[in-house]
């Protein structure tokens, strides 16, 4: 097999950030981070269920493609065997006769075509023996590779309860290798994408050489223009299966094993579909000593609606198609020969082991969860709408995921609405009130007009000086409201900040929490609370790398920051390290003086301004002389 790649991944060129994949992922294996443009799948946490693939309407989620690998095997000198899942009855209903389907596979280049139902019969018999000898221990079936990953990664304490039996796909491959020799190339064709990972677990991927989904097989038929109307009928190669043809149904393997489905007499409970599976595992884990049943689990609703199929609807129609197909196959079966084949091949070793791989993330502290709830405006229990629009069952569960680092507050719709709509209106109202207050002060303080004009003049000079700096500067109060910022800071924040600055010049009064991501404004909160500076921190912000230094100006009341875009031309090149250090030192001194000036009034404006200008000129001259 080719080098192993993630079973699922996100194509950033197609992603539209709808977060539909995040909402359907049952194990939080898709993370959304502030510094990344799009969500990403964490391979170690993924269980390969394919729900994200089905839910993504832009088709941004893709899976490991095996078509080129299959074409190379078919074009090689090795004999090739197709191992076909019985689910063809529900997927290829557009092909009138399964024998035409077999012939189309031979036309594609396969030397032999075997149906997987015989492997189902073998494994069904193994389950019947295991359940009879269980002696009070209860098992979960492992025919579905998604179920195996789910238990190994998120319920590792239940690994001893996984039935130590290979899947029908593996059993069929073992029989085929015995018949034709180890050099034969086996290509399994079925509805499950996660079979691509399962194949790697046996003989280093050499037992099943390649996995094709039904989607990929259709693409190959189209590529080579193979159509039903131009081929003759052809039968599967023996050995043939019996009631294993019912395997696509959730309880089909029980039927093949001769296990009654009536819960009053059967010792096995079947659960299929995400909701029933999670509830079944939960009940097995907590109440198996009361339930006293084995569990037959399939993450999909059987292999009728696997993610590797073209369509994922019409479940009950598909059940009928599978039943009709199974009846047709069984009616033609030579039962005596079938029993001889079962007796012969049941002597193979169908045992397997498992590898616990705990991927559970410890729950964050209550304080961390409450801090996130506060950020998204859910400080009181009554504020927790639990609308599930973010993809999580409750606001508290969402806050827990944010605290784990797998999501961002912006995924909360009410948080975004408040920030992007209501907040701008609040700024307009605040600006209007400030203007009215300014006019009232102007009328009532005529005696102080001259001093006010001097202060304004000094402020204008400082603003002009700051506006010429390529470094972003911002000063905030203890509520993280902007007291002062320059144009470089606004440009760093991007288009939304520039839109707000058109309404509120310099973003005065704006809330820093709405302008910058959580990990950044949380540093401002730390500086205000601890009265300790944060020096030269590199932070990813959108498409930039920012170097941020934050320092206290007035304890618990005011702090300022110097922010540099490390991707800007001024700081690129070999002198990046030295220039960052030099400019931070210069601007720390300058903005501290400006913060002091803004906080203390204008009585010493001229003296402070001259000092800042002189300092800036000297350092500029030194830098030019050294170049």
Q: Mind listing the pLDDT tens digit for each residue in 273-308?
A: 999 999 999 999 999 999 999 999 999 998 888 999
Q: Please give the domain boundaries of the chain with CATH numbers for all domains.
A: 1-64 (3.30.70.20), 65-345 (no CATH), 361-424 (1.10.15), 458-626 (3.30.450.20)
* Residue 435 banded pLDDT, cuts 50, 70, 90: confident
Nearest to 497, CA basis, from 425, 420, 436, 559: 420
In the predicted model, is pLDDT for residue 5 greater than 90?
no
For residue 114, the 8-state DSSP code is E
- pLDDT band at residue 397, thresholds of 50, 70 and 90? confident
**Cβ contacts of residue 478 below 8 Å, gap of 6+?**
528, 556, 557, 558
- From the list 162, 116, 120, the residue with the least C-alpha distance to 296 is 162
Q: Which two tokens stand for residue 514?
A: 């709405």
Average pLDDT rounded to a whole number, residues 203-231:
94
Range ranked top by mean pLDDT from 196-200, 404-408, 448-452, 609-613: 196-200
Say yes or no to pLDDT of 565 above 90: no
Residue 269 DSSP symbol: E
Per-residue pLDDT band at 120 (split at 50, 70, 90) = very high
Find the mean pLDDT for residues 187-193. 96
| Residue-level pLDDT at 288 | 94
What is the reported pLDDT for 127?
95
Q: Which of 145-149, 354-358, 473-477, 494-498 is predicted with the least confidence, judged by mean pLDDT?
A: 494-498
Indicate whether 161 pLDDT > 80: yes
Does the CA dihedral 447-448-454-457 come out positive or negative? negative
What's residue 172's pLDDT? 97
**Percent of the chain topping pLDDT 70:** 85
CA gap 459, 587 in Å, rounded: 17
- Residue 408's pLDDT band (boundaries 50, 70, 90)? confident
What value does the mean pLDDT of the chain take? 85
3-class secondary-structure state, position 55 = helix
- For the record, the structure tokens of 456 come out as 């304004």
Question: What average pLDDT does the segment 69-91 reach?
Answer: 95
Which residues on neighbouring strands pair with residue 296, listed in sequence order? 270
- Which one, of 5, 15, 34, 8, lies nearest residue 405 by Cα? 34
Higher pLDDT, 447 or 24: 24
Among candidate residues 63, 133, 90, the one with its CA nearest the CA of residue 250:
90
Distances (CA, A) of 606 to 215, 586, 589: 75, 20, 17
φ/ψ (deg, to 5) at 82: -90, 125
Looking at per-residue pLDDT, the higher value among 329 and 568 belongs to: 329
SS3 379: coil
Whether 73 shows a pLDDT value over 90: the answer reads yes
Percent of the chain having pLDDT more than 90? 50
Q: What is the pLDDT of residue 108?
A: 96
Which H or E element spans position 323? helix 315-331
Q: Write down the pLDDT at residue 406.
A: 79
Supply the pLDDT for residue 446: 66
The CA–CA distances, whole Å, from 67 to 85, 197, 533, 612 equal: 17, 16, 56, 67
pLDDT number for residue 603: 47
Asked whether the predicted pLDDT for residue 118 surpasses 60, the reply is yes
Q: In this predicted model, what pLDDT tens digit does every residue of 258-267 receive, in sequence order? A: 876 554 456 8
Residue with token string 């932070």: 539
Q: 623 or 288: whose pLDDT is higher?
A: 288
Least confident of 69-83, 404-418, 445-459: 445-459
Position 62 scores a pLDDT of 95
Which residue is listed with tokens 């009232």?
Answer: 440
Q: Is the confidence at residue 84, as pLDDT, over 90?
A: yes
Read off the tokens for 533: 């500076």
Please give the pLDDT value at position 587: 63
With cut-offs at 50, 70 and 90, classify the pLDDT of residue 1: very low
Tell me: pLDDT of 325 over 50. Answer: yes
Confidence of residue 575 (pLDDT cuts 50, 70, 90): very low
Task: Indicate whether 41 pLDDT > 60.
Answer: yes
* pLDDT computed for residue 614 by the predictor: 57
**pLDDT, average across residues 454-467:** 71
How far is the first Cα of the chain from the last one, in angstroms, to the nearest whole number? 57
Distance of CA 98 to CAs 87, 238, 349, Å? 11, 15, 31
Residue pointed to by tokens 């609405």: 417
pLDDT at 433 over 70: yes
Q: What pLDDT does residue 201 have? A: 92
pTM over 0.85: no
Residue 602: the pLDDT is 45
156 Cα distance to chain centroid: 22
Statement: residue 100 has pLDDT above 90:
yes
Question: Of 343-352, 366-375, 485-494, which one has max mean pLDDT?
Answer: 343-352
Please determine, for residue 189, whether its predicted confidence score (pLDDT) is greater than 90: yes
Q: Which of 252, 221, 28, 19 is nearest to 144 (CA)?
A: 252
Instruction: Read off the pLDDT of each residue in 390-407 and give the average, rounded to a whole number.
Output: 80
Give mean pLDDT, residues 343-350.
96
Quick check: 216 pLDDT over 90?
A: yes
pLDDT (0 to 100) of residue 594: 65
pLDDT at 419: 67
Q: Which of 16-30, 56-70, 454-468, 607-621 has the lowest mean pLDDT?
A: 607-621
Q: Which residue has the higher pLDDT, 594 or 383?
A: 383
Q: Is the peptide bond between 91 and the residue preceding it cis, with omega within 30 degrees of 0?
A: no
2 pLDDT higher than 50: no
């Amino acid at each position: 097999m080719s080098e192993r790649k993630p079973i699922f991944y996100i194509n950033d060129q197609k992603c539209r950030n709808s977060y539909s994949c995040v909402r359907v992922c049952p194990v939080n294996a898709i993370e959304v981070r502030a510094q990344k443009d799009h969500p990403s799948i964490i391979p170690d946490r993924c269980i390969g269920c394919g729900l994200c693939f089905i839910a993504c309407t832009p088709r941004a989620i893709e899976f490991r493609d095996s078509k080129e690998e299959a074409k190379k095997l078919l074009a090689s000198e090795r004999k090739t065997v197709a191992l076909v899942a019985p689910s063809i009855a529900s997927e290829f209903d557009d092909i009138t006769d399964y024998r035409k389907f077999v012939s189309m596979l031979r036309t594609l280049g396969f030397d032999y075509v075997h149906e997987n139902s015989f492997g189902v019969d073998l494994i069904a018999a193994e389950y019947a023996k295991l359940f009879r000898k269980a002696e009070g221990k209860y098992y979960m079936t492992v025919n579905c590779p998604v179920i195996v990953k789910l238990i190994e990664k998120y319920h590792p304490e239940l690994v001893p309860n996984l039935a130590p039996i290979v899947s029908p796909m593996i059993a069929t491959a073992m029989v085929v290798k015995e018949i034709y020799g180890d050099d034969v190339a086996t290509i399994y064709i079925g509805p499950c994408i996660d079979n691509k990972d399962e194949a790697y677990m046996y003989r280093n991927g050499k037992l099943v050489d390649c996995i094709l989904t039904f989607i990929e097989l259709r693409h190959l038929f189209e590529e080579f223009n193979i159509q039903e109307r131009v081929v003759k009928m052809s039968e599967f190669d023996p050995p043939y299966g019996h009631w294993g043809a019912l395997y696509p149904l959730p309880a089909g393997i029980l039927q093949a094993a001769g296990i009654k489905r009536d819960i009053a007499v059967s010792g096995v409970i079947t659960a299929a579909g995400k909701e029933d599976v999670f509830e079944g595992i939960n009940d097995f884990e907590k109440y198996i000593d009361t339930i006293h049943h084995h569990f037959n689990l399939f993450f999909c609703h059987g292999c009728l609606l696997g993610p590797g199929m073209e369509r994922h609807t019409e479940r009950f129609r598909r059940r009928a198609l599978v039943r009709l197909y199974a009846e047709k196959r069984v009616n033609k079966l030579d039962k005596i020969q079938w029993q001889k084949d079962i007796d012969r091949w049941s002597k193979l070793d169908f045992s397997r082991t498992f590898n616990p791989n705990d991927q559970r993330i410890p729950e964050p502290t209550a304080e961390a969860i409450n801090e996130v709830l506060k950020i998204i405006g859910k400080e009181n229990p009554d504020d927790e709408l639990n609308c599930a629009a973010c993809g999580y069952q409750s606001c508290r569960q969402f806050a827990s995921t944010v605290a784990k680092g797998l999501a961002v507050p912006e995924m909360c719709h009410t948080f975004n609405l408040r920030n992007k709509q209501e907040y701008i209106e609040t700024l307009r109202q605040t600006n209007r009130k400030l203007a009215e207050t300014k006019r009232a002060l102007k009328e009532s303080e005529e005696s102080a007009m001259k001093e006010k004009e001097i202060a304004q003049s000094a402020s204008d000079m400082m603003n002009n000086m700051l506006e010429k700096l390529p470094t972003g500067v911002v000063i905030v109060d203890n509520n993280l409201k902007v007291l002062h910022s320059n144009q470089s800071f606004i440009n760093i924040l991007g288009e939304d900040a520039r839109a707000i600055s058109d309404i509120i010049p310099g973003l005065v009064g704006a809330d820093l929490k709405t302008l910058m991501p959580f990990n950044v404004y949380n540093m401002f909160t730390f500086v205000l609370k601890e009265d300790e500076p944060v020096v030269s921190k590199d932070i990813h912000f959108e498409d930039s790398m920012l170097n941020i230094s934050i320092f206290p100006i007035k304890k618990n009341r005011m702090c300022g920051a110097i922010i540099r875009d490390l991707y800007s031309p001024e700081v690129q090149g070999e002198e990046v390290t030295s220039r960052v250090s030099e400019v931070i030192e210069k601007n720390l001194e300058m903005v501290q003086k400006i913060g002091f000036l803004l906080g203390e009034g204008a009585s010493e404006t001229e003296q402070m301004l001259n000092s800042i200008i002189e300092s800036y000129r000297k350092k500029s001259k030194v830098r030019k002389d050294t170049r």
